[in-house]
Chains A and B, each alone.
Chain A
Amino acid sequence: MDLLKAIVERRSVRSFRADFVPEDMLRRLVEAGIWAPSGGNAQTWRFIIITDGGSIRRLKMLSPGLLGNPPAVIVICQDVAKAERKGAKLGKEVLSLMDSAMAAQNIMLAAYAEGLGTCIVRSFHPGGVQKLLRLPEYIEPQILISVGVPVSMPKPPKRNFDIVSFQEYRSND
């Protein structure tokens, strides 16, 4: 699939069919995430793929932004202890989150190319999800991505393209 086509056509999907997503497909999506850039090449992310129905139900109870009934959820975590060792305060507080976001975008584009729908979710209780998934204290969940076959593709929200300046900032307000 043409990359720009995937970028323009990807949508946040919040309604999924019951079809399950094969494990090898989910692994390919996460592999796309692993190929994202990371600050200082830290690569301190950790990925958890959840397909168990009961586990997803429990995750939903602590994740108000996780909507619909996705057959799979990818949890992008960061080893924040390692992120701090590699990148100091900036690494832990800023770069790790940027890295998770870049990995998330790769995953969502790869999913679109496979005919799947996804939604990135940050409306969850991080401490609760950490406890629910029995993560060590230094492994922090940062992003959830619901994955599944979409019921339909939502229409795109408007985009404002009048926000680009060359050489120096110019306000268009």
Chain B
Amino acid sequence: MISSIETKAFELVCYMVTSACNLLNENRLYGPFRLLDTASRLITILEEEGVKSKRLGEIRERIVAGQFSVMEDEKVFTDFLQDLVLALIPLMEDGTV
């Protein structure tokens, strides 16, 4: 019997593999966008499977708040990505890393 997490993982893998193929011929900013979306989806899957993490939830919130700036303004999007990376650092100090 296929587990729920296997199904969700399969769907995510399909999304990633198809993105890899399509991105050869798409807007170069879509690459980073798809990676963010993958991160967001992965966090949601983990949450649904019982992995409760404040820091992962915060990362997802930040992604959701800024990811669609890719459609509006390249500088806004790239600044958002830079800020997102910097926001990870205090989360690394959250006990386990």
Q: Which residues of A approach B to under 8 Å, CB–CB?
A: 12, 14, 57, 60-64, 67, 123-125, 128, 154, 157-158
Q: Which residues of B approach A to under 8 Å, CB–CB?
A: 10-11, 14-15, 18-19, 21-22, 26, 30, 34, 37, 68, 71-73
Establish whether residues B14 and A62, one from each chain, have CB atoms under 8 Å apart when the complex forms.
yes
Q: How far is the CA of A124 from the CA of B68 in the complex (A)?
A: 18
Apart from the given pairs A57-B11, A64-B37, A123-B26, 15 other A-B contacts in the complex at a CB distance below 8 Å: A12-B71, A60-B11, A61-B14, A61-B15, A61-B18, A64-B15, A64-B19, A64-B34, A67-B37, A123-B22, A123-B30, A125-B18, A125-B21, A157-B71, A157-B73
Kindly identify which residue among A63, A154, A157 contacts B18, using a CB–CB cutoff of 8 Å.
Answer: A63
Establish whether residues A14 and B68, one from each chain, have CB atoms under 8 Å apart when the complex forms.
yes
Question: Of A57, A64, A125, A157, which is in contact with the most chain B CB atoms at under 10 Å from its CB?
Answer: A64
